[in-house]
Structure 1
Amino acid sequence: MSRLSAWLGVALALALVFWLLAPVLAPFVIAAVMAYVLHPLVLKLEGLAGPRLPRALAVVLVEGLAIFALLGLFLLLVPILVREWPLLQQQLPLLLDRLGDLVNPLLAQLGLDVSLNLDDLRNQLMAYLSAHREDWWAPLMSSLKLGGSLALALVGYAVLVPVALFYMLYDWTRLVNTVLELVPPAWRGHFDSFMHDSDLVLGEYLRGQLLVMLALAVFYAAGLSLFGLDLALPIGVFTGLAVFVPYLGFGIGLVLALLAGLLQLEPSQAVLMVAVVYGLGQLVESFVLTPRLVGERIGLHPLAVILALMAFGQLLGFVGVLIALPASAVLLVALRRLRQQYLQSELYQKSGSAVSEQGADRA
């Protein structure tokens, strides 16, 4: 019991520190997760190239490949913006007129003596959209000053995460060995076994998450295509692959699909398209794909997956949502081992013997 109490005390202390320092630790947590995923690629590249390839160069190549893949995801937005921006300039007045024609009769039916006049809004938006790119600099800088903390945080993430990722990938083996040195020799066997099981579970999680992303990319692209959307492929693929960032990727994809639909289809058709495709997509992801392809692979019940996402998100915010399922997978391994130790403990054996003796006495 003393060993169990010590482990629980250390775990609670680490959880408290992590919770208090979550905003500061966020870029390092992201870098650590990426390092864990990418480190096997570094080892494989070193194994293929041999001593001719310095480790620093192998790390740079792997990290550059990962950054290139992430940039490729965002480059899917380029054809969307290039196509939609001119259409937005052309169709915006018509969309606002349709909005006024739709809302004013509804206000009249509700008995509200209000007329929605969108002329001023339309003129201002058209003037802004038609302005030269140089004219955007002043309002952009003004908005950055107003939201300086957010802009500074984004710049900090963009700089700090790659730097932290490089050092973690380069020194990953040494960092792991440093942690292992802190484990008492008497616990080394149990610790190695626990880390091995956790590594297997996390590997299953990553493979399951990749399957979820690919399945959703196909689903959204096919669903939007059925409604005749011209940009169904880039928007659908972007939405599916961006779900690794919970809520944010889905939200950006939904806004892009709605905007593209409004510029190409009738407003009612665009709203129906987004409601059907993205509504079904969210249901399929939350209740079918993630529980089945991720939850079952790591041994979590579908309800436990949903609870983990909500609980970690409430405690740690955005970072909590990112690490919810991996952390739950490691916690699951720990709970399995605690259960196994309890079933093999003297307390459980004595209680079982006492129950058997009581049954024999009654008989």
Structure 2
Amino acid sequence: MRRQWWIVAAVAAVGLWFFISIEPVLMPFFVSMILAYLGDPLADRLEAMGLSRRLSVSLVFLLLTLIIVLTLVVVVPILGRQLGQLVESLPAVLNWMQVTVVPHIRSLTGMDLSTDFDQMRQALVDNWRQTGTLAATLLTQVSKSGLALIALVGNLALIPVVTFYLLLDWDILVAKVRGSLPRSWEPAAVKLASECDEVLSSFLRGQLIVMLCLGVIYAVGLSLLGVRFGLLIGLLAGLASIVPYLGVIVGIGVAEVVAFFQFDDWLILLAVAGVFGFGQLVESTVLQPKLLGDKIGLHPVAVIFAVLAGGQLFGFTGVLLALPVAAMVMVVLRYLHERYKNSSLYDAGRHRIHDEESP
């Protein structure tokens, strides 16, 4: 038995080394896996309604394609334009802070921050300028290297192809993996896989819908108030809400600063707070109970650590995999904790004390 575990550990180590070695080419496959996982339940429902698997997958694939294309055509240009306007307004904000905020701090505390603030402002402005030209520089470098351009286009072209075939054969692949498991491991593995699927489906599908709804609420509310960069701030706050309370903290902080410089009116600040308060009310009373419930169990600190660790280890691919892997690790740790609580190792001390106390 011990030899079998050593073989399993060795195979797992070789597999991990292999995936780390080919990490640069894995990104389109992992993106396709996520898209296929999200689309498979809908394809199964269409198939249950009497459609063939290929037709069901084609309809789901068409829906995913329409969503992505509409996002690229409608939302991305507006976000790019608002981001450019935000970069252009940054020097005015920094000048106001230097003229108004720094002297006020000096009068209250006696600390002279003028020199340090000048250096910080210059560094920020330089970095923002570099960021503004980053896209053009990247495109120039990619165009100079035909191989890099071919690799980029190839990776993007692979995503829809791999997604379609993964959706088409998803149930077959799952059945083959289950059939390949050792018979003694199958009950525990199926139980863990079911719990992982429950957590992942709740997190990926539920959390994505929650983030989208919050982003729309924030963006529409700020835009109706006339706040500049309302769409950009709202959608970024919605994305940041993947970590509980981070989205509302970041969003309301940025929106309040923008509204203050734009209107110089305290009432608009209260209105901005009302938009985010309404979003939190909808999230806590409707979105969270209906879409997420108590199935996820990912602590906010665990979410932050998983994203940072995934990005540090595997770059963009690690960021994509961080939360799904964290959810599965949480399920496995919970299973191991239950096994430990029911083991003789956990009860050994209790039995020894009981034996010593017995006459």
For this structure pair, what is the TM-score category when the shorter chain's length is used for normalisation?
Answer: 0.5 to 0.7
Instruction: Please tell me whether the aligned partners of residues 28 and 156 of structure 2 are also in contact (alpha carbons under 8 angstroms).
Output: no
1:102–1:342 distance in 2 versus 1, CA, 3 Å: closer
Alignment match, 1:161:
159
* Separation of aligned partners in 2, 1:357 and 1:57: 67
SS in 1 for 2:181: coil
Alignment match, 2:215:
217
Instruction: Please tell me whether the aligned partners of residues 218 and 236 of structure 1 are also in contact (alpha carbons under 8 angstroms).
Output: no
Instruction: Please tell me whether the aligned partners of residues 214 and 240 of structure 1 are also in contact (alpha carbons under 8 angstroms).
Output: no
Instruction: Please tell me whether the aligned partners of residues 38 and 205 of structure 2 are also in contact (alpha carbons under 8 angstroms).
Output: no
* Separation of aligned partners in 2, 1:359 and 1:226: 73
SS in 2 for 1:64: helix
* Separation of aligned partners in 2, 1:140 and 1:25: 21
User: Which residue among 331, 340, 344 is the counterpart of 1:346?
Assistant: 344
Alignment match, 1:321:
319
1:300–1:242 distance in 2 versus 1, CA, 3 Å: closer
* Separation of aligned partners in 2, 1:205 and 1:97: 40
Runs of 5+ consecutive residues of structure 1 not aligned to the other structure: 112-138
* Separation of aligned partners in 2, 1:218 and 1:337: 38
* Separation of aligned partners in 2, 1:27 and 1:82: 24
State the 1:79 CA deviation: 6.8
SS in 2 for 1:298: coil
1:82–1:201 distance in 2 versus 1, CA, 3 Å: closer
* Separation of aligned partners in 2, 1:142 and 1:79: 20
SS in 2 for 1:185: coil
Alignment match, 1:31:
32
Tell me which moved more, 19-28 or 183-192.
19-28
1:5–1:336 distance in 2 versus 1, CA, 3 Å: farther
Is 1:43 matched with 2:44?
yes
Runs of 5+ consecutive residues of structure 2 not aligned to the other structure: 100-113, 116-136
Q: Cα deviation per residue 1:165-209 (whole Å; 9 max; x = unaligned)?
A: 111111112211221222011111111111111111112112431
1:154–1:8 distance in 2 versus 1, CA, 3 Å: same
Alignment match, 1:134:
none
Alignment match, 1:76:
74
* Separation of aligned partners in 1, 2:77 and 2:322: 33
| TM-score using structure 2 length | 0.65
Alignment match, 1:356:
354
SS in 2 for 1:76: helix
User: Which residue among 322, 329, 332 is the counterpart of 1:331?
Assistant: 329
Instruction: Please tell me whether the aligned partners of residues 204 and 298 of structure 1 are also in contact (alpha carbons under 8 angstroms).
Output: yes
Matches within 5 A, 1:234-253: 234-235=231-232, 238-239=235-236
State the 1:76 CA deviation: 2.4
Is 1:191 matched with 2:192?
no
* Separation of aligned partners in 1, 2:140 and 2:212: 40
State the 1:148 CA deviation: 5.1
Instruction: Please tell me whether the aligned partners of residues 342 and 348 of structure 1 are also in contact (alpha carbons under 8 angstroms).
Output: yes
SS in 2 for 1:186: coil
| TM-score using structure 1 length | 0.64
Is 1:21 matched with 2:22?
yes
Alignment match, 2:124:
none
* Separation of aligned partners in 1, 2:228 and 2:96: 26
Q: Cα deviation per residue 1:209-233 (whole Å; 9 max; x = unaligned)?
A: 124313431453156337624773x
1:159–1:321 distance in 2 versus 1, CA, 3 Å: same
Alignment match, 1:201:
199
* Separation of aligned partners in 2, 1:356 and 1:73: 65
* Separation of aligned partners in 1, 2:96 and 2:234: 33
* Separation of aligned partners in 2, 1:174 and 1:217: 36
Percent identity of the aligned residues?
34
Aligned length: 306
State the 1:300 CA deviation: 2.0
Q: CA RMSD in A?
A: 4.9
Is 1:307 matched with 2:302?
no
Instruction: Please tell me whether the aligned partners of residues 208 and 297 of structure 1 are also in contact (alpha carbons under 8 angstroms).
Output: no
Q: Cα deviation per residue 1:112-157 (whole Å; 9 max; x = unaligned)?
A: xxxxxxxxxxxxxxxxxxxxxxxxxxx9985542365654443123
SS in 1 for 2:185: helix
Alignment match, 2:110:
none
Q: Which residue identity lines up with residue 158 of structure 2 in the other structure?
A: L
* Separation of aligned partners in 2, 1:188 and 1:97: 62
Q: Which residue identity lines up with residue 25 of structure 1 in the other structure?
A: L
* Separation of aligned partners in 2, 1:172 and 1:314: 30
Q: Which residue identity lines up with residue 303 of structure 2 in the other structure?
A: V
Q: Which residue identity lines up with residue 23 of structure 1 in the other structure?
A: P
Instruction: Please tell me whether the aligned partners of residues 217 and 241 of structure 1 are also in contact (alpha carbons under 8 angstroms).
Output: yes
Alignment match, 2:55:
57
Q: Cα deviation per residue 1:83-137 (whole Å; 9 max; x = unaligned)?
A: 88xx98xxx9xx89989x999x9xxxx79xxxxxxxxxxxxxxxxxxxxxxxxxx
* Separation of aligned partners in 1, 2:311 and 2:292: 18
* Separation of aligned partners in 1, 2:16 and 2:263: 49
Instruction: Please tell me whether the aligned partners of residues 198 and 295 of structure 2 are also in contact (alpha carbons under 8 angstroms).
Output: no
Instruction: Please tell me whether the aligned partners of residues 207 and 292 of structure 2 are also in contact (alpha carbons under 8 angstroms).
Output: yes
